[in-house]
Amino acid sequence: MYTLGVRDHLMIAHSFRGEVFGPAQRLHGATYVVDMEFRRRELDTDGLVVDIGLASQALQRVLAALNYRNLDEVPEFSGKNTTTEFLARELFVRMGAAIAAGELGEQARGLTALSVTLNESHIAWATYEADLT
């Protein structure tokens, strides 16, 4: 399995519901370093997993929809705790849609899996990974 990774960052504000979250129930900010890894079994005809420039641009577009936002005010997240784990899957879904729409080029349709890691700090992170269907 071949893997190509790109990295960017995401700055958000949010709050959580539930005693388990303690002081994080109050509005607070988070800055995530986002690592996205694209996987495929064989390289494409150009010898690539995916075009690194297109992958970086697509990641920027996916993050732009949430960057500098209060996630408590995003309608599709209403009633949900936007935890690091939740956001990792959300970014996976959004990048999967970008791949399916051809935003990473035709060759990217050969990608077999995607992994998204949100690094909340140097000691805590969450990853969502799955096959692309």
Asked if 16 contacts 81 with a C-beta cutoff of 8 angstroms, the reply is: yes
Domain ranges for the chain: 2-131
What's the average model confidence in pLDDT over 4-17?
Answer: 97
Q: Pull the structure tokens for residue 29.
A: 């900010």
Please report, rounded to a whole number, the percentage of residues in the chain having pLDDT higher than 70: 100
pLDDT value, residue 104: 95
Between CA 47 and CA 42 the distance in angstroms is 9
Instruction: Give pLDDT tens digits for 12-36.
Output: 999 999 999 999 999 999 999 999 9
**The domain 2-131 belongs to what CATH superfamily?**
6-pyruvoyl tetrahydropterin synthase/QueD (3.30.479.10)
Please name the residue ranges forming H helices in 1-133.
52-64, 84-100
pLDDT one-digit tens code per residue, 58-98: 999 999 999 999 999 999 999 999 999 999 999 999 999 99
Inter-residue contact 131 to 112 (CB < 8 Å):
yes
pLDDT category at 100 given cuts 50, 70, 90 is very high
Exposure string (b/e) for 113-130, b if CB count within 10 Å is 16 or more? ebbbbbbeeeeebbbbee
- Model pLDDT, residue 89: 98
